[in-house]
Amino acid sequence: MTNKPTTPEPENLAPNQCWDLLRTTSVGRLALWVTDHPDIFPINYRADHGTVVFRTGDGTKLHAALSETPVAFEADGVSPDGGTAWSVVVKGEATAVTLNQEVMDTVGLLLFPWQDGRKDHFIRIVPSSITGRRFSVTPPLTWWSPLDDATRAGLE
């Protein structure tokens, strides 16, 4: 018998819980296939009627997103009060928002990119799957080891 504390299992989230969490933040990461390699881009986004919408300018991200290769989007968050964190992954197809009414609706989402420049393209990720999990944040003292101290000392 050991005195080792048990680690609570992560909680798998239902799709509606995932969407609720995605509505609590506005920054995530978009994973795309670019030419011959994967790449990841930070994006500002909004959850909108069971999809994820973001703005971008002309360039690598736009062209890779609109290729025939599926995309993945990930966002996460942490609750400092409750000691829990969450992560949600949306996988699916990215499509350009082109219909006039749909463009007007997405403008109303108030997507404000962090980087200046022209961000004229609205892209909608239509999910084929959405998964998420919530888990307890482990206090550093439970995973911090003498090896961590030795590594840090070698870098100083």
Tens-digit pLDDT profile for residues 84-136: 999 999 999 999 988 655 655 555 566 666 666 777 888 999 999 999 999 98
For residues 93-122, one letter each, b for 16 or more C-beta atoms within 10 angstroms of the residue's C-beta and e for the rest, the string is ebeebeeeeeeeebeebebeeeeeeebebb
The CA–CA distances, whole Å, from 10 to 4, 133, 149 equal 18, 6, 28
Q: How confident is the model at residue 138 (pLDDT cuts 50, 70, 90)?
A: confident
Whole-angstrom Cα distance, residue 36 to residue 103?
Answer: 31
Q: Which pLDDT score, from 0 to 100, does residue 3 have? A: 59
pLDDT (tens digit, 9 = 90+) per residue, 7-58?
678 899 999 999 999 999 999 999 999 999 999 999 999 999 899 999 898 9
Name the DSSP letter for residue 115: S
What are the tokens at 45? 């986004």
Side chain identity, residue 76 = D
Q: What is the pLDDT of residue 80?
A: 72
Half-sphere exposure of 6 (CA within 13 A, CB side): 4
What are the distances in angstroms from CA 1 to CA 5, 9, 103? 11, 20, 62
Model-wide pTM > 0.75: yes
Higher pLDDT, 7 or 2: 7
